[in-house]
């Protein structure tokens, strides 16, 4: 997102580059983001579908391990953010002169082409799996609205069973249209709306949980979590719970895209540090409230999705509204994670075919002059949405898919690459105290994530076969 345009140093001596520098300065002056827009982007990315499964995760871990695990993942995410603020400018974190406008640009510039090739694959997988998860979650929430009305009209014992395929298609059509937004910087308004929606349904979920606790007259749950028939089963459900929690926190992969939208006064990294700390604190508070109150309300019977598992039946209109907020939030969340992938792919295609006017030109319909259509955007982005929708139809299993999605690339994206880039940016030599501590940190988190990944894969396969 602006990375290639600013790859070369800003202070060139060749007169042939004057026009290019004027373009760069104009771009720099166009950036209008601040701590609040950055916070909105991060909240949209972080408080997503993962919050709905946290009560279920807490039920597997229990009252002690679950909050500690959430705080541990929050700390890892915030640490990653602090490292990445040092990677926006290169080689000097404060003065550059090179700008890394995306996560992949930073890896390429700081760690080299081989690391960038590996990172490119991981980042693309990350964007795609989030699109799939968001499609599944939104369709389940839309179906929940229909089921809620059915239970209200026909009684709580009615079957009210409906499929999700139809709702996945609806969400796919919406995303095919919204995906025509040209680039990430044009999604600020969508992120603001999505952030408001995420706060809304998180508050509603927490309030419903609190009301249920008051109605029960007791706080349910236990220190050890849900009992299982064998120790082996307990090991597997804990691993899946870790995967679900891992999915709930990270925003590292779009961190530098967000930083690239910020005005340069105050310095971008100062603004991003403030926004990151605020976002992680806010999201952790909501996660503990939503997950904790959900677990306190239902104990061992906590549903996999707090708003769609129908532990709550009334007030049905409030549950409908909360699920509608989930859908609206995920419309924005899908775009926050898809726009960087669109930019990477479309930039590569246009570089391969620089003389193809059809790929480069925008078409502006006369009735709607602000609407800019592009053939490449229309074809590629629509195909991408169709792919994520189709894959979601094959594996419509919320908790299992969330667990796999959380574990599949948490370690490389949130831990490994940020640490490696930080070591280079700060010129930290091998075998120094700081270097050894960071290596141990990487190794320990790798073991945890491998455990979560294996368990989540087992859960997904079991769900598919059953």
| pLDDT value at 207 more than 80 | yes
The more confident residue out of 272 and 246 is 272
- Asked whether residue 107 is domain-assigned, the answer is yes
- Specify the DSSP element, H or E, that contains 91: strand 89-92
Cα distance between residue 254 and residue 241, in whole Å: 24
pLDDT tens readout for residues 137-162: 899 899 989 988 888 888 877 888 88
Give dist(CA 184, CA 336) in Å, integer.
Answer: 7
Average pLDDT, the chain: 83
pLDDT at 20 over 60: no
Q: What is the CA radius of gyration of the chain?
A: 23
Tell me whether residue 191 is in a domain: yes
pLDDT higher at 313 or 22: 313
Neighbours of 318 (CB within 10 A): 14
For residue 20, tell me if it sits in a domain.
no
* CA 306 distance to own-chain centroid: 19
- Tell me the per-residue pLDDT of 225-237, one tens digit each, with 9 for 90 and over: 888 888 888 988 8
Residue 187 lies in a domain: yes
> What is the count of structural domains for the chain?
1
Q: CA-to-CA distance for 412 and 417, rounded, in angstroms?
A: 6
- CA 146 to CA 324: how far, in whole Å? 11
| Token digits of residue 96 | 């550059």
431 located within any domain:
no
Q: Kindly tell me if the per-residue pLDDT of 173 is higher than 80.
A: yes
13 domain-assigned: no
What's the mean pLDDT in 385-410?
80
The CATH number of residue 127's host domain is 1.10.4160
pLDDT for residue 196: 87
pLDDT band at residue 6 under the 50/70/90 scheme? very low
pLDDT of residue 21: 41
Considering the entire predicted model, what is its pTM?
0.78
Residue 39 structure tokens:
């916070």
What is residue 305's predicted lDDT score, i.e. its pLDDT? 77
**Nearby residues of 6 by Cβ (< 8 Å), 6 or more positions away:** 24, 27, 98, 99, 101
| pLDDT tens digits along 338-364 | 888 888 888 888 888 887 777 767 666
Residue 422 lies in a domain: no
Query: Does residue 429 lie within any of the structural domains?
Result: no
pLDDT confidence band for 439 (50 / 70 / 90): very high
Domain assignment of residue 91, given as a range? 4-8+31-414+444-465
| Higher local confidence (pLDDT), 174 or 52 | 174
């Amino acid at each position: 997102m602006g990375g290639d345009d600013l790859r070369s140093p800003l202070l060139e001596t060749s007169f042939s580059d004057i026009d290019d520098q004027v373009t760069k300065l104009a771009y720099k002056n166009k950036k209008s983001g601040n701590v609040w827009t950055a916070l909105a982007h991060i909240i949209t990315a972080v408080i997503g579908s993962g919050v709905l499964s946290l009560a279920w995760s807490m039920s597997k871990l229990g009252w002690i391990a679950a909050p500690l695990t959430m705080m541990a993942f929050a700390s890892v995410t915030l640490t990653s953010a602090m490292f990445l603020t040092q990677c926006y400018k290169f080689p000097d974190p404060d003065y550059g002169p090179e700008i890394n406008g995306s996560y992949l640009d930073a890896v390429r510039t700081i760690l080299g082409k081989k690391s960038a090739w590996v990172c490119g694959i991981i980042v693309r997988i990350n964007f795609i799996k989030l699109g799939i998860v968001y499609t599944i979650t939104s369709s389940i929430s839309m179906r929940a609205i229909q089921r809620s009305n059915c239970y209200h009209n026909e009684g709580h014992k009615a079957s009210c069973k409906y499929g999700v395929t139809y709702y996945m298609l609806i969400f796919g059509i919406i995303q095919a249209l919204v995906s025509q937004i040209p680039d990430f910087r044009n999604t600020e308004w969508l992120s603001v709306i999505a952030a408001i929606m995420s706060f809304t349904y998180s508050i509603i979920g927490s309030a419903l949980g609190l009301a249920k606790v008051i109605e029960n007259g007791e706080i349910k749950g236990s220190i050890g979590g849900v009992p299982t028939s064998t120790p082996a089963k307990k090991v597997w459900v804990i691993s899946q719970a870790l995967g679900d929690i891992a999915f709930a926190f990270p925003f590292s992969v779009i961190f530098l895209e967000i930083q690239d939208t910020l005005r340069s006064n105050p310095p971008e990294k100062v603004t991003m540090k403030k926004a990151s700390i605020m976002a992680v604190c806010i999201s952790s508070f909501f996660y503990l409230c939503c997950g904790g109150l959900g677990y306190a309300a239902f104990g061992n019977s906590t549903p996999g999705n707090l708003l769609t598992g129908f532990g709550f039946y009334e007030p049905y209109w409030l549950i409908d509204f909360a699920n509608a907020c989930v859908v609206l939030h995920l419309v924005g969340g899908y775009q926050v994670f898809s726009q960087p992938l669109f930019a990477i792919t479309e930039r590569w295609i246009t570089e391969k075919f620089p003389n193809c006017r059809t790929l480069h030109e925008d078409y502006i319909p006369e009735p709607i002059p602000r609407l800019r259509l592009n053939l490449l955007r229309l074809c590629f982005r629509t195909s991408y949405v169709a792919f994520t929708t189709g894959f979601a139809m094959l594996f419509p299993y919320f908790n299992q898919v969330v667990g796999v999605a959380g574990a599949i690339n948490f370690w490389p994206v949130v831990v490994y690459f940020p640490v490696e880039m930080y070591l280079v940016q700060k010129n930290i030599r091998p075998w120094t105290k700081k270097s050894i501590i960071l290596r141990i940190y990487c190794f320990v988190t790798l073991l945890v994530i491998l455990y979560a990944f294996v368990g989540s894969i087992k859960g997904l396969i079991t769900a598919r076969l059953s």
